[in-house]
Amino acid sequence: MSKNIVLKKGLDIPVSGAADLVVSKSMNPSCIAVLPDGIKGLLPRLLVKEGDRVLCGSPVIADKKNPDILLTAPVSGIVKEVVRGEKRKLLAVLIEAEDAIECVHFDTSDVKTALLQSGLWPLIVQRPYGTMADPATSPKGIFVSAFNTAPLAADTEFTLGSEVQAVQRGIDALATLAPVHVSLDGSRKDSAFAKLTGCTLHYFQGKHPAGNVGVQISHISPIQKGETVWTVSLAGLAAIGKLFAKGTYDIRRKVAVCGPAALNTSYVDVLPGTPMKSFISFWGGDATDLRIISGDLLSGIAVGPDGYLGRDAEQVTIIREGYEKELLGWIRPLRYKQFSQDRSYFSWLFPCRKYDMDTNLHGGPRPFLMNDNYYSRVLPMDIYPVFLAKACLAGDIEKMEKFGIYEVLPEDLALCEFVDPSKNYIQDIIAQGIDLMLKEMA
């Protein structure tokens, strides 16, 4: 067993509404969306038109720069609608699902070709910058985090513990492209994934963001200038495994429905691209003053009741919008209902308490005032978060490089954003820095 890396820095946000470990329903909605949005680096070109029939695994969208990269249909059916936004930006392709799913069978003799043709390739994320992986590069490693530490995150032992074989098949396939590193939760001795072979196992223990693959990479093999690594989610790895086991495109997964405002918090068996309307029973129908997030509370996307479950989402979080003003909030000594990691409140007295949180900002935006240490104590990486954020704000490429822009994605600094008393949008600042790097390095 390799070394157990214990990360002391970090923070588990004690929010209420964790999902019970039961699958409450299996969803087969009549309409499924293929979503090109959110895949960094993809310039979508539409391959189908309304009325076309597609099979599960048929290409729907291709990348303009690299036409080999495809997004495929997760079900068989008729293309119902192509949804476009401003400037005709392609937002979604809606497919009316057939009752009996008919699949394309892929030839899996060549790993890269099979991944590209099946539409599973975009599940691989390339770092630095978090773009879609470039098939022409050879990364120094492929990193997978086998556990989540995000607030209310889905328990991978529950969602994928029964699919260890598929995960193993995925590792076997990816190991032909680059060495695979899998990080496990060091605090769980009975992990179903401890028996995985063909990869290097690493053990991490600690609070969030110990489960973030970016944090793990920085401890296993930090990314330096000129290097690339690939990352895949564990659910993505299982889908890749199923492709090589069965020859079909199967991205069905268990997703946690959670959050302080969610009813009947539990897991559902679902396809990414499922309309959020299918989840209506989890918020009781009235979504006013509710925020429905595809993903977790720190880095998920607020898609609303009319949106769709994102491609990589492993949870749906439902939370109240915090529109209420709080009279003399900041000066009240106790504020018993609010959580703060800062010792100027008294949450530290109740370490086991879970809080009914909302989306209130709890203050006004200000320039950075607190020291770097205030932020870096929730970031178990060897970087100075405030210096990096300020370099991004200044658009200073050289400093961004030096302060570690290659190692981070916005999600890694999400907790810094959470604890920030100056209420900056740090993830957005980092994202802008990354966009600038991409533009300058292109």
Residues 210-239 that bind another protein (CB under 8 A): 221-222, 224
Q: Six-digit token pair at 344? A: 């100027």
Among 50, 89, 373, 395, binds another protein (CB under 8 A): 373
In angstroms, give the least distance from the CB of 331 to another protein. Answer: 6
> Cβ 72 to another protein, closest distance in Å?
29
Binds another protein (CB under 8 A): choice among 68, 110, 306, 428? 428
Helix (H) or strand (E) holding 218, with range, is helix 213-220
The C-alpha R_g of the chain, in whole angstroms, comes to 21
Q: Where are the beta strands (DSSP E) in 27-84?
A: 31-34, 44-46, 53-54, 59-63, 70-72, 77-84
Q: Is 349 in the site for another protein (CB under 8 A)?
A: no
Cα gap 427→365, rounded to integer Å: 14
Residue 36: how many other CB atoms lie within 10 Å = 22
The answer to the question of residue 358 lying near another protein (CB under 8 A) is yes
Tokens read off for 364:
């006004």
Cβ neighbors of 79 (< 8 A, separation 6 or more) are: 48, 49, 50, 51, 52, 53, 54, 60, 93, 94, 95, 96
40 or 362, CB closer to another protein? Answer: 362
Of 367, 439, 441, 442, the one binding another protein by CB under 8 A: 367
Check binding of 361 to another protein (CB under 8 A): yes
Examine residue 343 and tell whether it contacts another protein (CB under 8 A). Answer: yes
Min CB(226)–another protein separation in Å: 10
Using rule CB under 8 A, residue 395 touches another protein: no
Nearer to another protein, 175 or 302 (CB): 302
| Contact partners, residue 16, CB within 8 Å, separation at least 6 | 260, 354, 355, 356, 357
Q: In angstroms, rounded to a whole number, what is the distance separating the alpha carbons of residues 380 and 383? A: 9
The backbone region for 259, taken as left when phi is positive above 0, alpha when psi lies in -120 to 50, beta otherwise, is: left
Q: What is the closest distance, in whole angstroms, from the C-beta atom of residue 229 to another protein in the complex?
A: 13
What is the DSSP code (8-state) at residue 410? Answer: G
The size of the interface with another protein (CB under 8 A), counted in residues, is: 74
| Residue list 10-29, contact with another protein (CB under 8 A) | 13, 15
The only residue of 96, 312, 322, 354 in contact with another protein, by rule CB under 8 A: 322
Applying CB under 8 A, does 405 fall inside the site for another protein?
A: no
Q: Which of residues 116-155 bind another protein (CB under 8 A)?
A: 151
Query: Considering only 52-60, 169-177, 231-239, 408-416, which stretch makes contact with another protein by CB under 8 A?
Result: 408-416
| Nearest residue to 33 via CA among 311, 408, 385, 422 | 311
Q: Does residue 209 have a cis bond before it (omega within 30 degrees)?
A: yes
In the chain the first and final C-alpha atoms are separated, in Å, by 41
Chain center to CA of 368: 27
Q: Which helix (H) or strand (E) holds 243?
A: helix 234-246
Q: Does residue 357 interact with another protein by CB under 8 A? A: yes
CB of 207 or CB of 362, closer to another protein = 362
Contacts of residue 118, defined as CB under 8 A and 6 or more positions apart, other chains included, come to: 57, 72, 104, 106, 243, 249
Which is closer to another protein, CB of 1 or CB of 331? 331
Q: How far is the CB of 76 from another protein (least distance, A)?
A: 35
Check binding of 394 to another protein (CB under 8 A). no
CB nearer another protein, residue 57 or residue 151 = 151
On whether the CB atoms of residues 290 and 262 are closer than 8 A, the answer is no
Find the Cα–Cα–Cα–Cα dihedral 15, 17, 23, 28, rounded to 10°: -100
Asked if 158 touches another protein (CB under 8 A), the answer is no
* Residue 3 touches another protein, criterion: CB under 8 A: no
CB 225 within 8 A of CB 406: yes
Nearest to 183 by CA among 238, 146, 150, 155: 146
Site for another protein in 262-321 (CB under 8 A): 291, 293, 297-300, 302, 317, 319, 321
Instruction: For residues 177 and 166, give the distance between their C-alpha atoms in angstroms, rounded to a whole number.
Output: 18
Residue in 249, 417, 433, 434 binding another protein, rule: CB under 8 A: 417
Could you say whether residue 398 binds another protein (CB under 8 A)? no
Minimum CB distance to another protein smaller for 124 or for 318: 318
Residue range at the interface with another protein (CB under 8 A); choices 82-90, 228-236, 250-258, 407-415:
407-415
> If you ran DSSP here, which 8-state letter would residue 308 be given?
B
Q: How far is the CB of 302 from another protein (least distance, A)?
A: 7
Which of these ranges, 93-101, 193-201, 244-252, 415-423, lies near another protein under the rule CB under 8 A? 415-423
**Between 15 and 92, CB nearer to another protein:** 15
Among 427, 433, 434, 437, indicate the residue that binds another protein (CB under 8 A): 427
